Chain A
Amino acid sequence: GIQVEQSPPDLILQEGANSTLRCNFSDSVNNLQWFHQNPWGQLINLFYIPSGTKQNGRLSATTVATERYSLLYISSSQTTDSGVYFCAVPNTGNQFYFGTGTSLTVIP
């Protein structure tokens, strides 16, 4: 299967700081999703981004499929951004592979 690695594994930020999370994958993909898992376990869709750059408020994401990585940018972080961030990629079928996750803590 596809190997998906995320970095850093843990991140602690002061409120208002910016951060970049990285997702590396081992094979060509035609789809990539970023999720935020809140403390209650709900996985919230952030971006569906097979390639290029997308922005949604303080968050943006860039996928460079040819180089097999994606970046998630969080600007002006807030305490509500705390949680675990996952990227996920599918194979040619319906099988999704999740990354190892980045645990983010934003302190006031």
Chain B
Amino acid sequence: DTEVTQTPKHLVMGMTNKKSLKCEQHMGHRAMYWYKQKAKKPPELMFVYSYEKLSINESVPSRFSPECPNSSLLNLHLHALQPEDSALYLCASGQAGGREQYFGPGTRLTVT
């Protein structure tokens, strides 16, 4: 099974809302990633968890809060977002140490 699942597929939220994005993998991978992708741009790394610990935070604003409850799950908690945060949010997993990554289908987020 080389599948990474993400929910929801689409999300519309207001600037005062709190919502969460969820990601799950059952490949035994110990590295999990959140990326943000704007239209016609490559994915930009936001966070990396390695062995359930946050190892990389690419200077992401605090209105994005990641959480890794266990080795299979990754959440991204959203609060007080801005319209410019509207984007495709992609989750990925892989073996630790920069090995092959596998991506989920993404969540299309619109902030109104």
Chain A interface residues toward B at CB < 8 A: 30-31, 33, 35, 40-43, 45, 48, 86, 88, 90-96, 98-101, 103
* B98→A94 contact, CB < 8 A: yes
Partner of B101, one of A40, A41, A88, A100: A88
Q: Is the interface of B mostly helix, strand, loop or mixed?
A: strand
Chain B interface residues toward A at CB < 8 A: 2, 31, 33, 37, 40-45, 48, 50, 55-56, 88, 90, 92, 94, 96-103, 105-106, 108
* A33→B108 contact, CB < 8 A: no
Residues of B with C-beta under 8 A to A48: 100
Residues of B with C-beta under 8 A to A93: 48, 55-56, 97-98
CB distance from B61 to the nearest CB of A (A): 19
